[in-house]
Chain A
Amino acid sequence: MISLEGTVSFWEYLGSRRERLWFETWQHASMVFQTVLAALVIGVLVGLLVYRSERLSALATSTAGVIFTVPSLALLGLLITPLGLGVAPSVVALTLYSLLPIVRNTVVGLSGVDRTLVDAARGIGMTRTAILLRVELPLAWPVILTGVRVSTQLAMGIGAIAAYVSGPGLGEQIFSGLARLGGANAINMTLAGTLGIVLLALIFDGCFVLIGRLTTPRGIRV
């Protein structure tokens, strides 16, 4: 018989570990936020560099796609050698995974901008940079933002696995819970980690809806 000695109800568990859980939730959120932000900057830059050439676009997208297909556990494991344990491999892996949706959507968004508009912009004497900043990026923005949203959801889930390399966040709860399955509070731990991530994902998504509303001009809102 498995001993359930010391097991408490889920609510009691949350109450007794409140501080630790808050901290891990905060860590998780902050890790996802930072990696997605990094992926956004890198992804949009890559997108900008390649979108004018079909060949380069295909190359960038498929490279990001290849990284994407590497199982997360394997990638994290591989990163231990160069980066050690902890925050570094977690952040790098998450950033790499977040790249694909952002790069792809940036390329799709930018090349979807009506060429006649770019032409009109050139025709009225806008500089290359002005066209990019004032016409192309704003018009591609809703599509890029969708990519960021997808990346965020991905990073939320994959972020949990970062605990495997002692990364920060709610993955710790899930991994510990799974490791002592049958032990005291195992289910509570796993449940707390999972629900925390789901909750965070919902909150982030809500934020994206808001950001989308605030940053999309009325003229191109669907």
Chain B
Amino acid sequence: MSDADPAPASGATSAASAAVTGDAAGADAARGNRGGIQLINVTKRYPGQSVPAVDDVTMTVPSGEIVVLLGPSGSGKTTMMRLINRLIEPTSGKIIVAGQDALGLNPVELRRHIGYVIQNAGLFPHMTVATNIGLVPQMLKWDKDRIAARVDELLELVDLDPATFRGRYPRELSGGQQQRVGVARALAADPPAMLMDEPFGAVDPITREHLQDSLLRLQEELGKTIVFVTHDIDEALKLGDRIAILDKGSRIAQYATPQEILLHPADDYVEQFIGGGQAMRLLKFSRVADVPLQQVPEARPEDDAAAVRDRIAAGSTAFAIVLDERRRPVRWIHPEDLDGVTGPIGTRGMPTATPIRARNTLQQALESLIQIDHETVPVVGPRGVYRGTVTLATLQNAIRDMKERTRARRRGADAT
């Protein structure tokens, strides 16, 4: 958490992107334990209040994950956030950010390394979009050109055209655009962690959906540690790698993955929170990344036809997938396509359908599978890099497995 931090951090992002193309393990190492957050027995009692707003909470937010705090009004969600960036001080307990005791750090310094997005964006109305976004870099004494370049980069990242938007004032933006700028501002100095307090609470459902998708796409590239507050169960299920369902005084009723919460609500309180329609929700909120993918033989355009035929014969599917030089899927290739061919396979084969992303939901995968004429769809990770494939059977098996596992666990729990 030194002044010099942001520069290497932004370097790490590009290093990570390079590593992803090569091997996923390298990317994970590059991310390292940059921004994990831990609350240990944290209590916050506001002056003059009889019950604590946050009562003896212990919780770990793993590095690089989105953790959603979900709970009714007054359950202490905002209080927990503000404890993390020290806008308020805990009455007791310990808070660790990126491996360091937050209470031992200079609060101003700490906040510059934790992005903060609040409801209604909280943009400064007297500053242009560019100035708003450039505030933290400016405080970190970046030079003008670097800030300007960063502002444009961030506007692109949140899908706003820099030329159109950098000179505008917040009131000249729609609510959704303001939220985007708010997110861009929080990302400005490439902080390893972000706190987002109901950032999409005040926009219409369609824009909201769109903002959520953008956030997931961003997260896929950036791998930030994000604490996200919402009232909305569907938003929580969609965005969260993990969800903490809070009761009064921030009692954590359940802290688990969306799947687990849907399949195995910890108690009546949680059950009441998630309501019915669990099977559809499972499809809607499980990610493609969470199910075992089907692996098919791989080939490159320059590979020798005979070698590819052998690979297909050795594999479990009747075809192989052709990847380009950056490992992005391009075509399916069947042995028939290679009849009598010698030398490189070149551009033979049939183009794949638009790949689905590992971050996509099973529902989206199902949608794709129903619409295309091949039984298989490729799945890609960050920067379109090939991960595996899904079929209808993959989805069916995945849902069956989830149910099996839960049933087994329940039986186990009942037996004890």
Interface residues of A (CB under 8 A from B): 116-117, 119-127, 130, 134-135, 138-139, 217-220
Contact = CB atoms under 8 A, between A and B. Distances in A.
Given A117-B124, A135-B124, A220-B125, A123 B85 contact: yes
A121 B126 CA distance: 13
Interface in B100-131: 108-113, 115-116, 118, 120, 122-128
B126 A116 contact: no
Given A123-B195, A124-B111, 17 more contacts: A116-B118, A116-B120, A123-B111, A125-B113, A125-B136, A126-B139, A130-B139, A138-B126, A139-B124, A139-B125, A217-B126, A217-B127, A217-B169, A219-B126, A219-B128, A219-B169, A219-B172
A219 B127 CA distance: 7
A212 B110 CA distance: 37
B112 A124 contact: yes
Interface residues of B, number: 29
Which secondary structure dominates where chain B touches chain A?
A: mixed
A121 B118 contact: no
Contacts of A125: 108-113, 136, 139
Given A124-B116, A125-B108, A139-B126, A119 B87 contact: yes
Contacts of A120: 116, 118, 122-124
Contacts of A121: 124
Contacts of A138: 126
A114 B396 CA distance: 52
Contacts of B116: 120, 123-124
- Interface of chain A: mostly helix, strand, loop or mixed: helix
Contacts of B263: none
Given A126-B139, A218-B169, A119 B118 contact: yes
Interface centre among A121, A125, A138 (most CB of B within 10 A): A125
Contacts of B113: 125
B171 interface: yes
A127 B124 CA distance: 16
A117 B123 CA distance: 7
B224 to A, nearest CB: 15
A218 B136 CA distance: 22
A126 B87 CA distance: 12
